[in-house]
Structure 1
């Protein structure tokens, strides 16, 4: 097995642990806050932080989920620098970070199923195959969508390659997703959208009431924004943004992922490095209400 980055610096898989595969139900990868306190240049990142909820599948056991923060390779950041298997490597072909349907191979402690050793080397090699397929599918989608999209895709995605026979199923799924999205925009599913809008409005009201309750009943602590990810999802007509906060409480630091709806103007309040206050739910330490 390959080089292990987290949760501990083990270069070999622990003996006696059980083979498993973990799928990221939701995750946020972020750069460490390594700014020079003297005001110098930012330290070069050799690893990334990862806040993740895993769904673990292990032969002979029921699948289970758990959440954790750990150190991970820089290719999870989906950036250009460090986009290869190692932090100092570059990858010129398209890559899409940690993919939910691919997951990662590893082993789990039979005494504690929440101790997961990940083989990041094998995970990268498996993701390379999935990234290449996704790039070919995106290229074919652009080709079928129209001349302008195809020209743009060839410029920004020059190494994708042509669609292969084994990609057809994934292409069909992607095209169906696009057709469904267009149908919703065009009003073909007007009745469904009305029902969804009513449901979203009720959920948004419930969520705002919950945040007000946390702010009223919770304890206020300092925090720092360590990551902000704009998703392609919308809720009640507002973009969904995923924020990762580093919370300092009783001299200890931990990360909490917060997902909410923010317009572009409000989202700028939470740039990485921003110092804010958050209120913590007395009933759930992972439920928070961010302040300004």
Structure 2
């Protein structure tokens, strides 16, 4: 049944335990605490704080709150995803532990709070769900239009085309986003001149990025600096980026949301288009 982290590094699935499935009703993945020196450059495992809903066939489901060491792939952060071992990478999109999917496990028949999780099988089951999620999010963004629809042109090249059986998930994602937007609108029911001006400025910048991509020359660049400035343009946080392009350093003020900004980590190599009218103006891609 694969391997599990902790209490030992590797161990076999216990015999005679009950087959079950555990669903994360709420969870948080973080770095282990390594004292005053902070986290290491290479994480070999992550810390999971979770409330499981454990379902054993023929028994009533029950909740279990626990903390444990888990494989790195449960953390969805970063440009490059984690493979099923800490030293492996995944080049396709990854979204960490999916609440609705759950994980296969076995339960101690004497102590139901003692569960053994088959992380290898869980990873295999998550892979097609991650890929579907990536297709669904991109299609929902495309149908919504606006700023994010433009930025989705630079999305991951390995997502693939939408499949016919993805359609119900796209509709559900669109409805979820509409419900969220209704809540936001209810909280900001009156016109805000400051926010309106900020929206217009972001739209102007989006139009400029489209022009640069259409007219500019494409280069390979490296992210050499990324600073969370603490400033905001409307509701959007401003991230100050510096790219090295053909031996030159070019600054870029990113105001298009954290979901897009997290692509640009220091050391990442990305495509950029340089403005033919201004070599210090560029459009970053992926």
Give yes or no for TM over 0.5: yes
* 1:28 paired to 2:8: no
Q: Which residue of 2 aligns with 1:3?
A: 3
Alignment of 1:88-167 (within 5 A): 88-146=87-145, 148-167=147-166
Alignment of 1:270-289 (within 5 A): none
Secondary structure of the corresponding residue to residue 113 of structure 1: coil
Q: Which residue of 2 aligns with 1:183?
A: 182
Quote the offset at 1:166 in angstroms: 1.7
Larger Rg: 2
Task: Give structure 1 regions of 4+ aligned residues with deviation exceeding 6 angstroms.
Answer: none
Q: Any unmatched runs of 5+ in structure 1?
A: 191-292
How many residues of Structure 1 are paired with residues of Structure 2 in the alignment?
Answer: 188
Alignment of 1:167-178 (within 5 A): 167-178=166-177
CA RMSD in angstroms comes to 2.5
Matches of 2:46 and 2:180 in 1, distance apart? Answer: 34
* Superimposed CA distance per residue, residues 71-129 of structure 1 (whole angstroms, 9 cap, x where no aligned partner): 10011122346611110111111111111101100100000111110000011111111
Contact 1:22 1:106 in 2 (8 A): yes
Contact 1:31 1:49 in 2 (8 A): yes
Matches of 1:12 and 1:23 in 2, distance apart? Answer: 22
Alignment of 1:213-232 (within 5 A): none
Alignment of 1:250-269 (within 5 A): none
Secondary structure of the corresponding residue to residue 95 of structure 2: coil
Matches of 1:145 and 1:82 in 2, distance apart? Answer: 27
Matches of 1:19 and 1:94 in 2, distance apart? Answer: 30
Matches of 1:76 and 1:41 in 2, distance apart? Answer: 17
Quote the offset at 1:40 in angstroms: 9.9
CA distance 1:8–1:82, change in 2 (3 Å) = farther
Matches of 1:184 and 1:111 in 2, distance apart? Answer: 46
CA distance 1:147–1:180, change in 2 (3 Å) = closer
Quote the offset at 1:148 in angstroms: 4.3
CA distance 1:86–1:154, change in 2 (3 Å) = farther
Matches of 1:84 and 1:10 in 2, distance apart? Answer: 17
Please, what TM-score do these two structures have when normalized by structure 1?
0.59
* 1:72 paired to 2:70: yes
Quote the offset at 1:6 in angstroms: 3.2
Contact 2:32 2:39 in 1 (8 A): no
Contact 2:18 2:108 in 1 (8 A): yes
Q: Which residue of 2 aligns with 1:54?
A: 52
Q: Which residue of 2 aligns with 1:203?
A: none
